[in-house]
Amino acid sequence: MSTIGWVGLGNMGRPMTANLVKAGHTVNGFDLVEIAVEEAAKHGVNPVKSIAEAVAGADIVFTMLPKGEHARAVYLEADGVLAHADTKTLLVDSSTIDFDSARALHAEAAKAGFRFVDGPVSGGVTGAEAGTLTFMLGGTEEDVAEAKTFIEPMAGNMFHAGGEAAGQAAKIVNNMMLSISLQGVVEGAVLADRFGLDPKVFYDIATVSSGDSWPLRTWYPVPGVTETAASNNSFKPGFATALMHKDVGLALAGAETQGLDLPAAQLVHAQLQKLVDAGLEGLDTSALIKNIDAKAEG
């Protein structure tokens, strides 16, 4: 079995590392937040106090961080991965980050003699817990093939999306589509309620009808309807509004560079911005329902 270094033990990193431990690997895990490390240790992760300790002797290092700025810091700063890992160690960033940061990490890693893969994921916390995430991998054929052998216990699907930053490209487009579907679901949930429909009955109808979608089935924004929804738990994430706001922003920034106008993505971004401005960016993204019905319960 292998030794895996892991940096970033938040909502996703925690269950992902738990599956690597279950598969028999030794996982040395670090997070800036002590309680995140303690929680991961309950699932068998070996808790460490620095990036240097996390990467020492690792066959592969994974990072699962909020944004590009965090990933740049973790890889590039003096106490970071490139300064402390062995160049034989394969590096995989599974955070969802902007293209510029992803390209910069590929370039800086190569300059320092490392192999680097961008490998963002889809499937949310439920997919992370179940070990059924979809991984979208960007890098060389050989590096992606090697990364897949470690990723397997965390994944339902693994795709070689293309060369450097191609994983991020696929992920950003996917999340833009997800956010647009979710906006439809929150509007539908409120309208169904106002029409007097029982939410569970409507859910049962829509999930086998043409209104079906992943956020409908997984994130229905009314409590007591579907087990996996953050609405059952006061909109505790799940997938935080701040992260979706970031992802749709990345899609819009990318679209601008291509001269594309994406009206639905702009609308959802404005709806997410409303939650951020109201100080609700820490709630799950399905709290978008609060823009339609301020009294929506979660």
Contact footprint for ligand NAD (CB under 6 A): 7-13, 30-33, 36, 64-66, 70, 73-74, 95-96, 121-122, 124-125, 238-239, 243
DSSP 3-state of 160? strand
Which of 12, 20 has the CB closer to ligand NAD?
12
Site of tokens 């409590």:
223
Round the CA-based radius of gyration of the chain to a whole number and report it.
Answer: 19
- What is the distance between the alpha carbons of residues 117 and 102, in angstroms, rounded to a whole number? 9
* Minimum CB distance to ligand NAD, residue 191 (Å): 26
Instruction: Determine the length of the chain.
Output: 298
* Minimum CB distance to ligand NAD, residue 88 (Å): 23
Which of 182, 192 has the CB closer to ligand NAD?
182
* Minimum CB distance to ligand NAD, residue 14 (Å): 8
Which of 48, 225 has the CB closer to ligand NAD?
48
Which of 30, 116 has the CB closer to ligand NAD?
30
Q: Are 25 and 3 in contact (CB under 8 A)?
A: yes
Beta bridge partners of 155: 133
HEC string of 163-230 equals CCCHHHHHHHHHHHHHHHHHHHHHHHHHHHHHCCCCHHHHHHHHCCCCCCCHHHHHHCCCCCCCCCCH
Handedness of CA 153, 162, 250, 73 (dihedral sign): positive
For residue 186, the Cα-to-chain-centroid distance in whole angstroms is 21
* Minimum CB distance to ligand NAD, residue 42 (Å): 15
Active-site residue numbers? 171
* Minimum CB distance to ligand NAD, residue 246 (Å): 7
Which of 70, 115 has the CB closer to ligand NAD?
70
